[in-house]
Amino acid sequence: MDSMTDTETRPLIKMIKVNKFFGPFQALKNIDLEVYKGEKIVICGPSGSGKSTLIRCINRLEEHNDGNIIIDGIELTDKVEDIDAVRREVGMVFQSFNLFPHMTIAKNLMIAQQLVRKTPKAKAREIAMLYLERVKIPEQADKYPIQLSGGQQQRVAIARALCMRPEIILFDEPTSALDPEMINEVLDVMIDLARDGMTMVCVTHEMGFARSVADRVIFMDAGEIVEQAEPAEFFDNPENERTKVFLNQILSH
Amino acid sequence: MSFDLSLILESLPLMLAGIGITLKLLLVSGFLGLILAVALLLMRISGKFYLDWPAQAYIYVFRGTPILVQIFIIYYGLPQFEAVRDSIFWHILREPTGCAIVALTLNTGAYVSEILRGGVLGVDRGLLEAGSALGMSARHKFVYITTPIATRLSLPAYSNDVISLLKSTALASTITIADMTGIARTIVADTYAPYEIFISLAIVYMIFTLGLQKLFGVIERYLGRYTRRDG
Amino acid sequence: MEVLTGWWDDYFWGAVIVAKVFIASLSLMILFGLIGAGAKLSNSRVAQKIAGAYTVIFRGTPEILVILLLYFGSAILLTSIAQIFNPEIKFVDVPPFWAGTIAISIIVGSYATETFRGAFLGVNPGSIEAARALGMSTLQTFIYIRIPEMWRIALPPFGNHMLSLIKDTALISIIGLNETLFVAKQAITVTGKPFTMYIVVGAIYLGFSSVITLAVMAIEKFGNRTTIDAK
């Protein structure tokens, strides 16, 4: 575990007793979580367990109702400048890619650099091409998203997040919308990122990925963190009954 | 009863002399109406009730009443007040053409703002979330994500509204304006040949409509270029 | 408003005429729309062409032209027919009520044609296949599957067609139907208060539009209860 060598004493993500409600429905219950620099966390659990809500609170796509969320020393409150600062640190990859359909691939990678980081256009394009190389599709730079396959679009989405040079990347079920034959090309990019020491929080059902990449696997159910452990421990000796049932369901096929 | 072809050939140039006024009504009210529509749209999506509610009330009233009544209120009704006659707007409102443009603008603005709002609401929320996640501000997201996509989404409905506006310009003839319809009505009153005159004029309007549809078709194809796989 | 004293009765009866025109034109509009949609969906090329021309013509021609043409045109037509039987007859008067009612229902019917056609084609073919697979007959499939789903698709645009109809009734005052605008005109010559008189007309129409909007909303809510339950 080479990532543990540069772990700092202060966590990059710290959640303390976080609660989140949608109307009367409690989506998150007393979530406590710490993620250190370079850590790779996989969150799994049945649908509706709150795992997506949890990571969407980290960059404030959802507002938590109480508790504290502190990202690299900045507490998330209503303050817009703080939210902006956190979002500059935290990249996100979505289940449905969410590439801007009216912009070319290169423009998708450049737009936020230009607007948010104030990077000059030529430099932004240079950085965009660098990351497109990295996800192995530089030849698609001047196409529109619809002309790419799902797997290619998701790789572009990862490159788009990387262009902002984030400290942390959140993955919200990045392979769930993909045809089976495209899942691996996306996972390969993620594994590559993990090797480089990127701090990653991934909501995913790809248990093979979890087993080989994660430092910690977290199991959520009904808005709670039920169990968390290193992957070997998690998969081979789950403690909680709910974890066992869940693992049985997804691994029995 | 017979169909008098020579009468058509005689009257058509007379009616076409009104084309300038018809076009002026269409273009000026279309342009001003679009500006009004954007202003109403911004009020409606501002999230502030003191902007949203007046805009809603305005749209409700102007969409809920006939355009002909609106034209009459502005042309015949407003001069009832001395304040209007003394105001700086009087030189617009005392002219029938000015009144027609004001009425058509106010009317089309209400409809178009709802069309634009439909476009804005049609923008995939995920794209705005992606913008947020990249640190884009609300203004940036509106300008670079919402606006281009909403424009494309609302264009088909907008083109229909422009055609409605073209048809509504014919109502200017009810307040003495000599647009194409106004001239046609005068000719029919003289010759009592409604078939020849009105049908040939209807064809002129139809040609206009088809032209507008073609034009918007081209724009739609251009704006929708990124929605086709073949590029 | 003192000036309005004595005019309320006239406005009331004007509004009654508006309501009558609306109800008559609504039935005709549905009829024209169904015929048009049927023709477009039929296998007959000729019927398709005629229906296609119908929608193009009446969506591209100003409403006021259609009304004027039908009113003056049918008067001439009926006069010449009547003269065949009795050369003594100078002129046959066409009631503006019917000329106007038919005109606006033809116009809005051309829009309804597309609505009904779209609703028919919009029914999920999977639902139809599933019904047939379950052994339902063609008629049963039509009644239990197709009609309810079509109705749900067609209702929102159909509501807009009803609003178009009610507002188009105002245009019939141009050919002398004594509805509310006509009443206002008379009241103005007596009182000299055009703004007040036309505002009343606007308010009456706003009332009609509101009733229609609320009715459509209520029906929509009823029609969508299955989709809401599913959530």
Tell me: the pLDDT tens digits for C21-80? 999 999 999 999 999 999 999 999 999 999 999 999 999 999 999 999 999 988 888 888
Please give the pLDDT value at position A4.
46
Q: Are B190 and B7 in contact (CB under 8 A)?
A: no
Strand order in the sheet with A224-229: A90-93, A168-172, A199-203, A40-44, A216-221, A224-229
pLDDT at B228: 85
Q: What is the pLDDT of residue C231?
A: 35
Question: Please, are residues B178 and B18 in contact by the beta-carbon 8 Å criterion?
Answer: yes
Average pLDDT score over chain C:
90
| Residues in chain B closer than 8 A to C80 (CB atoms) | 1
Structure tokens that stand for B192 in this block? 């009592």
> What does the pLDDT read at residue C160?
94
Interchain contact, A98 vs B126, CB within 8 Å:
yes
Using an 8 Å CB-CB cutoff, list chain B residues near A102: 148-149, 152, 226
**Smallest CA–CA distance from B204 into chain C, residue:** C61
Nearest to B229 among A90, A96, A147 (CB): A147
Chains linked to A by 3 or more Cβ pairs within 8 Å: B
Give me the CATH number covering residue C93: 1.10.3720.10
Q: With DSSP H G I counted as helix, E B as strand and the rest as coil, what are the percentages for chain C, rounded to 5?
A: 85, 0, 15
pLDDT bin (cut points 50, 70, 90) of residue C230 is: very low
Q: Give the tokens for residue C185.
A: 């005109």
pLDDT at C28: 97
Query: Closest to A87 (Cβ–Cβ): which among B127, B135, B226?
Result: B135
Q: Is B63 on the interface with C (CB under 8 A)?
A: yes
Between chains, do A96 and B149 touch, taking CB under 8 Å as contact?
no
SS (H, E, C) A68-83: EEEECCEECCCCHHHH
Search chain C and give the residue with CA nearest B72.
Answer: C198
pLDDT at residue C119, rounded to an integer: 93
Return the residue of C nearest to B182 by Cα: C65
CA distance C152 to C186: 44
Residues of B in contact with A55 (CB under 8 A): none
pLDDT score of C228: 46
Residue pairs between chains A and B whose CB atoms are closer than 8 Å: 75
Residue C226 confidence (pLDDT) = 62
- In the three-class reduction of DSSP (H, G, I as helix; E, B as strand; rest coil), residue A22 is classed as strand
Cα separation, A127 vs A106, in Å, equals 10
Helix (H) or strand (E) holding A89, with range, is helix A80-89
Q: Tell me whether A171 touches chain B (CB under 8 Å).
A: no
Burial A226-245 (b: 16+ CB within 10 A, else e): bbbbebeebbeebeeebbee
* CB neighbours of residue C204 within 10 Å: 23
> Where does the pLDDT of residue A6 fall: very low under 50, low under 70, confident under 90, or very high at 90 and above?
very low
| Low pLDDT (below 70) residues in chain B | 1-2, 231
State residue A26 phi and psi, 5-degree precision: -90, 110
Give the SS3 label for residue A92.
Answer: strand
**B216, burial (CB in 10 Å: exposed 0-12, middle 13-18, buried 19+):** middle
Least confident of A170-174, A206-210, B92-96, C196-200: B92-96
Q: Where in the sequence is the domain holding C138, given as residue range(s)? A: 2-230
Residue C193 neighbours by CB under 8 Å, 6+ apart: B80, C3, C187
- In a 13 Å sphere around the CA of A36, the CA atoms on its Cβ side amount to 10
Q: Determine, for residues C69 and B198 on separate chains, whether the beta-carbon distance falls below 8 Å.
A: yes
- pLDDT tens for residues A54-105? 999 999 999 999 999 999 989 998 888 889 889 999 999 999 999 999 999 9
Q: Rounded to whole angstroms, how far apart are CA atoms B36 and B110?
A: 8
Which chains have at least 3 CB atom pairs separated by less than 8 Å from chain B? A, C
DSSP A196-251: TT-EEEEE---HHHHHHH-SEEEEEETTEEEEEE-HHHHHHS--SHHHHHHHHHHH
For residue B13 the two structure tokens come to 């140039």
CA angle centred on C49, ends C48 and C50, rounded to 5°: 95
3-state helix, strand and coil shares in percent for chain A, rounded to the nearest 5: 45, 25, 35
Q: How far apart are CA A19 and CA A73, in angstroms?
A: 20
Q: Do chains A and C touch (3 or more CB pairs under 8 A)?
A: no
The two structure tokens encoding residue C120: 């028919």
Pair B187, B197: CB distance under 8 Å = yes
Q: Do B64 and C168 touch (CB under 8 A)?
A: no
Name the A residues in 115-134 with CB < 8 Å from any B CB: 115-116
Q: What is the pLDDT of residue B231?
A: 54
User: CA B172, CA C174: separation in Å to the nearest integer?
Assistant: 12
Cα angle value A64/A68/A69 (rounded, 5°):
80
CA-nearest residue of chain B to A170? B133
Q: How far apart are CA A138 and CA C193, in angstroms?
A: 73
Coil vs helix vs strand at A27: strand
**C184, B72: Cβ pair inside 8 Å?**
yes
Of how many residues is chain A composed?
Answer: 253
- Categorize the per-residue pLDDT at A240 as very low, low, confident or very high, splitting at 50, 70 and 90: very high
Which H helix or E strand runs over A118? none
So what's the pLDDT on residue A252?
67
CA–CA separation, C108 and A14 (whole Å): 62
Cβ of residue A250 closer than 8 Å to a chain B Cβ = no
- Rounded Cα gap, residues A180 and C103, in angstroms: 59
Contact residues, chain A, for B122 at CB < 8 Å: none
* pTM for the model: 0.90
What is the number of structural domains in chain C?
1
Would you state the pLDDT for residue B162? 97
Q: Which of B60, B63, B65 to mutate to test the interface with C (most CBs of C within 10 A)?
A: B65
CA distance B48 to chain C (A): 25
Torsion of CA B24, B30, B32, B34, to 10 degrees: -170
The domain B5-223 is classified under which CATH number: 3.40.50.1860, 3.20.20.450, 1.10.260.40, 1.10.3720.10?
A: 1.10.3720.10
Q: Does A142 touch chain B (CB under 8 A)?
A: no
Task: Please name the residues in contact with B9: beta carbons below 8 A apart, sequence gap of 6 or more.
Answer: none
pLDDT of residue B230: 73
Tell me how many degrees the CA angle A148-A154-A157 measures, rounded to the nearest 5. Answer: 105
Measured distance CA(C214)–CA(C144) in Å, rounded: 27
Q: Which residue from B110, B142, B102 is spatially nearest to B36, judged by alpha carbons? A: B110
Do the chains contact at B133 and A59, CB–CB below 8 Å? yes
Residue A5 has pLDDT above 50, yes or no: no
pLDDT for the residue numbered A3? 46
